A = this chain, B = another copy of it.
Amino acid sequence: MSSASASGPSPATAAAAAPVETDAATGATGPMTQPPKFLVDMKAKFCRMCGGRLELSTPPEGKEWRHVCQNPDCGYIDYQNPKMVVGCIVEHEGKVLLCKRAIQPCYGKWTLPAGYMEWNESSAAGAARETWEEAHAQVSVIAPYAHWDIPMIGQAYILFRASLAPPYTFSSGPESLEVALFEPSAIPFEELAFSSVSTTLRLYLEDLRTGSFRFHHGVIDKRPGSLPNDPGAFVVRDHMALSVDLAGPSGGADTATQQ
C-alpha cells in the first residue's frame, strides 16, 4: 500500500529564491503575465474595509497579482495568506487516537484531530482545543512532530505528539462519527482522510519501528482537482527529518529566555 522512495540526503534548497513567482497549480515559474489560478478561483469579491469591489490587478509598487479595492479612496489590498491547521497524534498505551469524520470533506474517513488555528491561541493550545472539540479528549502536548506545507490549498499543518491525559476518556464531538484508539499495525491507511494525515502516520510508524521520533518538515504537492484523500494524488517533497535526541523533547530545553 505504501511505496517509499529515496529522495537523497540533500536538504531543501531554495531554488526559487530569485524574484520570480511560482504558480503552485501549474508548477510554472517566472514573471507571471496571468494571475495565478488560486487568485482567479477566490470567491471573495468585496473589500473588507469599505465594501467596495475587489479586482485582480498588479499593484503599482509590487510584482504580485493581488485583489485590490477599486474604490480610489480606499485601495485596500486583500492579501491571501496560508492558514495553519493544528492537531495532535494522541498516544495512549501504545495506541493512537483517530476520529471518523462526520462532516465533508472526507465524510466517513479517519483523521487525526485537527483544525484551523485561531488568531489568539498558540499552535499547541489550538491542537489541544481541536482534540477536545473533535474527540472530547484531554491531552498533554509532548512535542512538535510534523510541519507540512500544502501550497496548492494554502494550508500549513502543524502536528504535535500528545499523550491522553486524565481522565483518559474520549467520545465523539459534533464533527466525529466515532473516536477510537488504534494499534499502530491496525491504522486504516486505506480509509484515511487527508494527505497530511497519511503522510504523518506513515512516518510515525517508521519512527516507532526505529524507536526514535523525528521532527518532520516538508511540502505536500497535490494534483490539481484531486480529492483530499485520493491515493496517488500527491507527492511529498523537500522532506527534512530532524533526528531528535533520545533524551526527549525536554533535553536541554529547561531554559526560558526572557528579555
Q: If A49-B43, A243-B251 touch, does A156 touch B123 (CB 8 Å cutoff)?
A: yes
Q: A121 interface residue, CB < 8 Å from B?
A: yes
Q: Judging by beta carbons under 8 Å apart, are A256 and B120 in contact? A: no
* A78 nearest CB neighbor, chain B only: B48
Q: A24 interface residue, CB < 8 Å from B?
A: yes
| Closest CB in chain B relative to A190 CB, distance in Å | 11
Neighbouring B residues of A259 by C-beta, 8 Å: 1-3, 195, 198-199, 202, 231-232, 234
Report the separation of the CA atoms of residues A80 and B126 in the bound assembly, to the nearest whole angstrom: 13
Q: Judging by beta carbons under 8 Å apart, are B240 and A256 in contact? A: no
Q: Judging by beta carbons under 8 Å apart, are B256 and A241 in contact? A: no
Q: A101 interface residue, CB < 8 Å from B?
A: no
Q: A30 interface residue, CB < 8 Å from B?
A: no
* A241 nearest CB neighbor, chain B only: B253
Contact with B along A36-57 (1 / 0, CB 8 A): 1010000111111111111000
Q: A118 interface residue, CB < 8 Å from B?
A: yes
Interface residues on A, range: 35 or more
Neighbouring B residues of A9 by C-beta, 8 Å: 250, 253-254
**Copies of this chain assembled into the complex:** 2
Q: A186 interface residue, CB < 8 Å from B?
A: no
Residue in contact with A36 in the complex, picked from B116, B120, B125, B127, CB distance below 8 Å? B120
Report the separation of the CA atoms of residues A84 and B79 in the bound assembly, to the nearest whole angstrom: 13
Q: Judging by beta carbons under 8 Å apart, are B242 and A162 in contact? A: no
Q: Judging by beta carbons under 8 Å apart, are A129 and B245 in contact? A: no
Q: Judging by beta carbons under 8 Å apart, are A46 and B49 in contact? A: yes
Q: If A11-B250, A17-B139 touch, does A120 touch B257 (CB 8 Å cutoff)?
A: no
Contact with B along A98-130 (1 / 0, CB 8 A): 000000000000000000111111111101110
Neighbouring B residues of A156 by C-beta, 8 Å: 84, 117, 123
Q: Judging by beta carbons under 8 Å apart, are B238 and A124 in contact? A: yes
Neighbouring B residues of A84 by C-beta, 8 Å: 81-82, 84, 156
Report the separation of the CA atoms of residues A3 and B18 in the bound assembly, to the nearest whole angstrom: 39
Q: List 11 A-B contacts (CB under 8 A).
A: A2-B259, A11-B140, A17-B128, A17-B165, A44-B48, A123-B149, A234-B259, A241-B249, A241-B250, A241-B252, A241-B255
> 4 tightest CB-CB pairs across the interface, nearest first?
A14-B128, A243-B245, A44-B48, A241-B253
Knowing that A22-B121, A214-B253, A243-B244 touch, tell me 12 more A-B residue pairs with CB under 8 angstroms: A12-B141, A17-B139, A46-B50, A47-B51, A64-B118, A80-B119, A120-B154, A124-B219, A143-B240, A235-B256, A236-B256, A242-B249
